[in-house]
Amino acid sequence: MTEPVRPEDMRVSDADRARAARHLQWAQGEGLLDLDEYDTRSREVFRARTRGDLERQVRDLPAAPARLPDATARRRVFSDTAGGTALRVLTIIFSTIAVVNLVAWGIVSITTGELLYPWFLWTGLPPLAALGVLYAFGIGRPSSDR
């Protein structure tokens, strides 16, 4: 006759590991863990095979709030994905170029005393169109919005 498996020896799923990782992330955000300890424990969480392995990483932490934020639940225009970061950087660069050209056009128009051809639009509209296409195809948006 085989003995029943002890609860701490039960295998864990990827979802169990993800919950434990969110618990550690919450604890680090609350200042309960420094970055080195968070890093070490996170690695151990993703190596964990049993409930006991997971329990050892979070047992000395207070209980996390009942509803920890899930990475897929974020509702931001620019997500924290690599595509979102790239889109943010491109937006900053393109906006800076457009504003500098608009200001230069304005200064030249004011100092010459006549309203010049709005050439600044050629530096502003193409990047704006490119960003619009990237966003339309889902680059930089959370996956739930696609």
Assign 87 a pLDDT band (cuts: 50, 70, 90): confident
Tokens 């800076």 belong to residue: 96
Note the pLDDT tens digit of each residue in 2-58. Answer: 888 888 889 999 999 999 999 999 999 889 999 999 999 999 999 999 999 999 999
Q: What is the pLDDT of residues 92-105, one digit of tens each?
A: 888 898 889 999 99
pLDDT of residue 41: 94
Residue ranges of domains in the chain: 7-69, 82-145
pTM for the whole structure = 0.46
Segment 108-132 shows an average pLDDT of: 88
Rounded CA separation 116/130 (Å): 26
Distance CA 63, CA 10 (A): 21
